[in-house]
Structure 1
Amino acid sequence: MSEAARATDWLLKPATSLAPLDENRARQELAEIASVAREGGLTRLTKFLAGKGEGQDFLAAVFDLSPFLRDTARRRPGILDGLFDQTVEARLKAIGAAIDRAYLAEAVSESGLMMDLRQWKAEAHFLIALADLAGEAETVLTVRRLSDLADACTRAAVDFLLRDAHGQGKLKLPDLDNPSKQSGWILLGMGKLGAHELNFSSDIDLVVFFDPEAPAVVDPLDATELFSRLTRRLVRILQDRTEHGYAFRTDLRLRPDPGSTPLAIPVEAALRYYEARGQNWERAAMIKARPVAGDLAAGAAFLKELQPYIWRKYMDYAAIADVHSIKRQIHAHKGHGEIAVKGHNVKLGRGGIREIEFFVQTQQLIAGGRFPELRGRETVPMLGQLAARSWITADARDALARQYWFLRRVEHAVQMVADEQTHTLPEDDEGLERIARMLGFADGAAFAMAFRASLQQVERHYAALFETAPELSTGIGNLVFTGDVDDPDTLQTLHGLGFQRPSDICRVIRGWHFGRYRVTQSAEARERLTELTPALLRSFGQTRRADEALMRFDEFLAGLPAGIQLFSLLQSNPALLKLLATIMGAAPRLAAIITRRPHVFDGLLDPALLTELPDRAYLSARLSAFVEGDRLYEDVLDRLRIFASEQKFLIGVRLLAGSIDPARAGRAFSDLADLTIEAALQAVTAEFAARHGTIAGGVVSLLGMGKLGSRELTAGSDVDLILLYDHAPDAEESDGDKPLAPSHYYTRMTQRLIAAVSAPTAEGVLYELDLRLRPSGNKGPVATHIDAFKKYQRQEAWTWEHMALARARAIAGDASLCGEVEAEVAAVLGQPRDAAKVMAEASDMRAMIEKEKPSRDLWDIKLIPGGLIDLEFIAQVAVITGQVEAGPRAPAVPIARAPAVPIARAPAVQIARATGTAEILSRLAPRFAAAGIRQELGDAYALYLALTQMTRLCLTGAFERDDVPPGLSDLLLAVTDLPDFGVLEAHLKETSQKVRKDFDLLLRAGRP
């Protein structure tokens, strides 16, 4: 082919065809990029994009399916034009070479290097994605390319910093052309970076050490400070967001004891730590460790010294059980219900990527000490080695390798949509269809079928592995509970299973067998329980607070009317038994509910429990069925309490089991409150009207405030409400037997609603109501006329009241009045304000809260400096000062409608205004908060939400750091995807410090 001909031939040849979501839109997007190319003088690209063929069809589909790739092409069409001259592989090599030379330019500055790295990384990122979607690159090549790119960027930044330190006299490098050589600065890539398996939008995990005796070190005593400072600059170079984006988000939390160690640790100190205090999760993490930058020879020498620590010749299975416990987000599921596709976490969910990785790692830890060939970093090659040595079957090897690469493709597709570090499939039909088409499936249904089959295959092999693991399959020893004297061997068995008071446990179990509870009075029930007892003890023993777990289970049994069905079910369903043990061992709040109200356990028997998402439609349908028919007023209120109690419990169980994430749990708890409070309002309205009649034109609206308004309720939240009403202007009193004036009527009706929701009955309390956010607070009437509300908000309300209004949401009542209230709230929030004054008042208010109500400790997440209040204040100030960008119109959220008492109403209201803190933070205007700050605030909120949802779900009181149920510690690690509680605390501390810094920057800038 001639050079001239070659120059017009586009060199990326799609091996797969993709279909856009919208053909017309896709062609329009391609035309827009062609227009940008024309303006930039890219003649051959313009001509190519205007033509027809497989390449153009492919690009049109890609740009319709991925807004991130489309926007990159618009900004830099020259990347596409370059594919006339070089293949993707050749261009990636050229980019890698350019990055490797970046530090050599004499005039290069830190800001210049940051710009260059970001531009090269953006081009390479785009090309890697394009080649992946085109089928030009298999996923194994894609992850290698991403890892090589991260390596190159890290090396370039490290070499630049070393030369800079040399120029300042801080180091004396032996070879300026090879700055890292003998520098003593060791950077190990961990996790997916270490294994050359990065995902598309991955963070990079680094652990940094240094050798103070290295030839380049001038002053060993200053080395810790020097290398920590260089590491801090390295992170800034790689991850700070600028107008050119970012290179790689960088995580240093896997270093030894991150809460109390510097960013760079001396080699000898690190070796002493691992030898004396290193934990099993750290051994597992070190399997993938690889020197990626800095002094590679020193890094290799360091890892060689660590070999005996990582690879023990004689591996005890208790250590494997410990790793299994610490990484408890991986469960040996046995199909407890179908797997939901929408909203499924491809990485951490059932049958996900982490299960395959952990499947391999545990086998490596067991056998790698004796067989060096099992010490590799990469997942799929190690599956091959494990099969070659007969540790796993060829079937397991082939199936897990195939599903690993399939799930990695799914993960990449999810991340290529918007370049977000997410592993969760969309929850809406269009989002799922988008992912399906990016992967070449005909539609969402075909993808869902393949995806579910993949997850089921993974979890089947994973469960089989741990069923046959020696620590789970050996006999557990004597278990004799006859007579009235403890059997010594049984005491020893119980102690070995994890019980600290084996004699007390014997006494409890003897009580079961003596038929002292109704549930064990029949001979058949006792027989079934006897058969179940070994599995029960093993499951409770694994909760790491075994005695408490079993005692709670004993209380549960004491309240049950019968047990044959339950014992049979637990015996045939180990996943349900494991879930019950987790509740008893890690979640005192849920255990108390299940003990006081054993009927809520019935909900766990539904095989679809973990599949069906508890969204508004799901909850509304079940509430309709539960309260249908003509019922007395008191019966309606009791049934609402029963329903809410059971559904709170089941939402909590889903969160505990990992089938929904903390954000989804918050929405579900809020939807449940909307629906049940609406049903209570309808019942109260009808009951009150029967006695006092109705007011002409009378209507009410409930305005949800606080966490109800923002749809962020937790299991233990109370509910903030404002009741607003309106009526005909000439209405003087109600038309019933006992007429009341309008203001008196609605005040009394509100008091009746408070009692209906908050008064304890035999079935407990529906919700604790808080009406203090109404106009004039506790001094004002409990019900407020809409006109008085409008006047107050516009003329008298304080700044903090408008901040609170930023989370307000009409949740129930007359639809037309709800619409009017929504419009008024939006108008009040949109009023022009002195932004500096608002920020000053909010800052002063935060300082006052901090002084009058200081946080107890780091775990007082709401009150700590840089905690939830700081984030909520930032979001609320942004709303009322107009610093939030408009987003896509929210989906219709109908005003809650329960069936208890039918009330005629207008069409449902749509809530388009964002009230959720997370959404507001993600939409902060760039002029108010730069992209990097938005990312930090969003990540912080996600962390706080995860910790708050889980602790409120599991605990009835405050989180006590020194008395955390070990099972809860594991759950917190699972929901945050962190390996160790010390790492979690360090991350929490670091996050709060970042948030406080951002709070000061955004709300206190220029103030002392």
Structure 2
Amino acid sequence: MKNQSYSDWAEQVKAVELPAALMGRMEERVDAFAEELEAKGLEPPFNEQVLSSLPLVFTCSDFVYQYAQRFTGEFCDLAKADLRSVSAEAQMRSALDQFCRGVEDKDGLMAALRRFRNREMVRIAWRDLAGWDDLFRTLHSLSALARACIDKAQAVLSDWMTPKWGVPTGPEGQKVGLVVMGMGKLGAQELNFSSDIDLIFSYKHTGTTQGGEKSVTNLEYFTKLCKDLIKVIGAKTDLGQVFRVDMRLRPDGANGPMVMPFSAMEQYYEFQGREWERYAWIKARPVAGDIKAGMDLLRILKPFLYRKYLDYTVFEALREMKRMISLEVKRKGLEHDIKIGPGGIREIEFVGQVMQLLRGGVLPVLQEPGIMKILDLLGENKLLPLDVCEDLKEGYILLRKTENRIQEFADRQEHKIPRTQTEQMCLSLSMGYFAWEDFEHVLARHRDKVQFHFEELLADPEEKQPSVGEDQALLWVWHQTVPVEQAVEMLALAGFDDPEQAEKMVSDLKKSPQGRSLSEHARLQLDRLIPSVLAEAGKADQPEVALKRVLTLVEAVIRRTAYLSLLVENPEVLERLVKLCDSSPLIASLVTRYPALLDELMDPGILYTPLRRWELDRELHLRLRGLDPEDEEEFLEQLRMFKQVNVLRVIAADVTGALPLMRVSDHLTEIAECILTKSLDMAWNHVVKKHGEPTCQLNSGQCQRGFSVVAYGKLGGIELSYGSDLDMVFLHAGITGEMTKSSNPLYNGAFFARLGQRVIHILGAHTPSGVCYETDMRLRPSGGGGLLVSHVDAFQDYQRNQARTWEHQALVRARPVAGDVAMASRFFKIRREVLCTFRNDTTLKAEVVKMRNLMKKELEKKEKGLFDIKQGPGGIVDIEFLVQYLVLSRAHDTPSLTDWTDNMRLLEAVTAAQLMPETMATSLKEAYLALRGHVHALAREDKPAMVPLEEVEEVRQKVMAAWRHFFGK
């Protein structure tokens, strides 16, 4: 020793302040350890970090103290080096290899694994109790230890089996490995200190073994391997266990086979998988063996786990699980259990899991095993209030720390708050509190918060609804237990103007083939839903209209009980649905076609507040972030749902008067721009992966992508409406004659043609969620007969030398909306140059009038007493043509006329340039807004743009007067 006696060393260590009740315990243990060191002639640890933490750790952990007493030499070696280091998983595996070196049989392997496990558990416990590692480092280290031990054991056992049994092979002779799936906390890398490990074993291909003394089926081989693995890991010896192994989560539980091929796993979960098994698989992860094959298994089982719709049936399943757990807690007296007791860890995990199963299929970013990450995502995506997520996260950290400290006391799988004074004092001290009462108060406060949020999430909606007495009459109407005449009277009292019609609609649904052939579960949901629908519809401005639209939706989803459950579980959603359907057939139609949109009615703060462009980009990024890059079908689905969701928000804000007309168009345009940008990114990645990148040149210098999407028409003019298609032109700057750099090259022109085709496919492909947008490419150079994607130089030449007047008119409303920034700049220069070209005014007028007359002849809808708002004389197109004429006529001496592409700002530019009287310009702006307002309102009603002539006659006359002013009769 360094000139110091063992007793001096002990006195130095004991010079710390602990609660009085624990001082004797600490001093006794330090003295006993010093005596053990002296008896064995070992030098005690002198590192300052170790010395300062030793009293706390020895006091609060019987497990660590007893290890130090029994394996004093190994502990001293640990204290000199590894105790103070964070051990990465690779280092851990390397150290385990050293422990297992020279092992020749199962007994030797079992001993080596246990020696290593105990040493690592002491290291992890010490670092946790001393505060050197935070909670998540501790959980990760425990999970890494389990993975390393399982993987080493299965690899050694497999090697020992090879000489006799050979190697498992698949149908094409490929080697087949064991897949060890870690479930629960092991899969989520959240293993607690004395946890058991939940495992499921599988393998990819059926077949037989090859190359051994005896050939057996893969099933026989892996069954033997798994039994040996469970024994090596889980059997109790004088050195304890590595980990207790729990196999009850496998298909058919304790009665199921030990191991199954992927095909059998897929069949089981497709036809027999139960709701609780979906919860179990949320945290699943391959932890040993063939990791790549394990990831393949997760992809195979993904449709079982995550539904492609909002699955509100999970609430009923979770309520049932909660009832069973509550009974167990009461029966076994587990109120003080911080795992499954009230306000415990399980409740926080259930909150995360129910939201994952509910939304994970439509928001892939939620397909994440870690609960803390999930709570962050739920807050980020506004699926739970931020303060709720923060409460749950704080509670989780406290509870998981407490769980570890309880288990580090004696390395027992214990979750109850200790009842003896010594253990209580040790726990509170390990958690940083000198007084048990202080810690108990903090723990109770957090558990109360967790329980409150959990109960709020799972509250039965029937508790929020009117009493049975208030709703009883409408329930009788639905069940047809009263005569028709009485049912009609009841509906009249509920607020229906035409109760006979309402009764017939309800009766028709009841008698419909869909209504008669429901499952028991669906029937129960419908019985709870329809009386509420009748009650809400009776309050609407147009009760029968609202009822018809909502019942049409109900009939469309009647066999998809998840949507019925959503409306039953959330009465406020049903209330909003009825109001919106009453206001807008477009909303009713949209939600009926895409019922997943019902979820958007959950939060009125989001529903009536359309996102701005940067928020749209962020939301789309989050929606697509968790997707498999190879899964194009899912990408297209998510893109379409993103569009439908955000268009719904715009309509909802529109019909409630929260948005003026111009802002509606702004939002619809920004949604389209966001989708175009993401579609181009996806198309680019797809074509580049197949053919490599093209070389592009612009203004004598290289540019990156060299591709631009130029918007024309309503998209270019920032005037999109509901159902508008996208008028576009594609331009590229690929170097002519050069090829992409790839083993499968294309000429640059062909590359960009495929890129353009891909963008159109992404936008227009039909999926269950419809199409994103119909596209119109006829405004490209030479129209339908021209190249789909034009070189920017060819486009410039065409616009200068070949384009007709109407094409220059179209150019007035054109602007780049996606693609290369340098290409956008080049387009704007071309556009300004072309629009600022001097034109003969007489010729220009004649060509504009000729094209306008041709359009009227071909496109104007004529019906007696009605006016075609767009194409009729004095309509929208007259205003647009007039503005375009003024730009083309005068931009050569007033270039500022080319600054904008939207009609309202163009009218302002025309006024500023004094190209028309200010009163006329004001009249035209008012007329344009009024006419667009009519078109917009009719689009919301899903009606053609036709109105009674007298409604717009005054406005129309002002437009015609302006036309005559410039063009004559």
Q: TM-score, normalised by structure 1?
A: 0.45
Q: Which has the higher helix share?
A: 2
Q: Which structure has more RCO (C-alpha within 8 Å, separation ≥ 6)?
A: 1
